[in-house]
Structure 1
């Protein structure tokens, strides 16, 4: 049986706003100190990678050791990359935070939904005779 389904049009809006506020988070100063300390360790590691990579690169080139030279080049590039990421991390996070804060979701349009074409009914129609599966094949 084909039926027109009745819909109840209900609109539900969930208003949630996320605004980071330092005063609302307990222990935020300790967390900031921890992050700044990790950034300091990362900067020291980046300097060490550049220095050690530069030494390996120079010695590898001087002594004709291709592997040491390529590992040294990789170390220098990795050190510079780490320093860039440590320096740019806050800018990247702030950019995506501001971009995400300006994003809005479209309002749902319930009117675009179509009713189902076939509705299964629990009541059997006595006027319909169903053939058994064995007679169909």
Structure 2
């Protein structure tokens, strides 16, 4: 005779949490937006400076035969372009991931409506048993 095993499990039911950004609910949001836009402006100016200074170092390094200065200049130009790309694409990336995350749902804990197994097998490892490496099969 197989009996259903009754196991006491603590189940914590939380209220469904939803996150929907709403500008009207955040005090001081306009000041924060102005701050972020100001930081973006500084970052764009820094990107232009990096491209200009890197280009100068690259050109002078090539012209004078200074390989190290040329490499640093190339890195500066690439870093400036990368910074400008990130500043321009930051809002698009954040909005993309926000929209993607908003579509995520929690998985159903019991998708097929299956009941719990009647018998659960638990394997205990005896810590007193040690494998002897000298006893091999070959």
The size of the alignment, in residue pairs, is 116
Matched, 1:76 2:77: yes
- Indicate the structure whose relative CO is greater, using CA pairs within 8 Å and at least 6 residues apart: 1
| Counterpart in the other structure of 1:52 | 53
Rounded to whole Å, the distance in 1 between the matches of 2:57 and 2:115 is 66
Q: In the TM superposition, what whole-angstrom CA distance separates every residue of 1:73-108 from its partner, at most 9, and x where no partner exists?
A: 000000000000000000000000000001111121
| Counterpart in the other structure of 1:90 | 91
In the alignment, structure 2 segments of 5+ residues that lack a partner are 123-138
| Counterpart in the other structure of 1:5 | 6
Larger radius of gyration: 1
The structure where helix makes up a greater share of residues is 1
For the 8 Å contact 1:53–1:76, the answer to whether it is kept is: yes
The structure-2 alpha-carbon separation of the partners of 1:6 and 1:70, relative to structure 1 and needing over 3 Å to count, comes to: closer
For the 8 Å contact 1:5–1:116, the answer to whether it is kept is: no
Rounded to whole Å, the distance in 1 between the matches of 2:101 and 2:28 is 25
Q: Matches of residues 1-137 of structure 1 in structure 2 within 5 Å?
A: 4-6=5-7, 12=13, 14-109=15-110, 111=114, 113-114=116-117, 116-117=120-121
Q: In the TM superposition, what whole-angstrom CA distance separates every residue of 1:21-80 from its partner, at most 9, and x where no partner exists?
A: 000001111110110000000000000000000000000000000000000000000000
Deviation at 1:7, TM superposition (A): 5.0
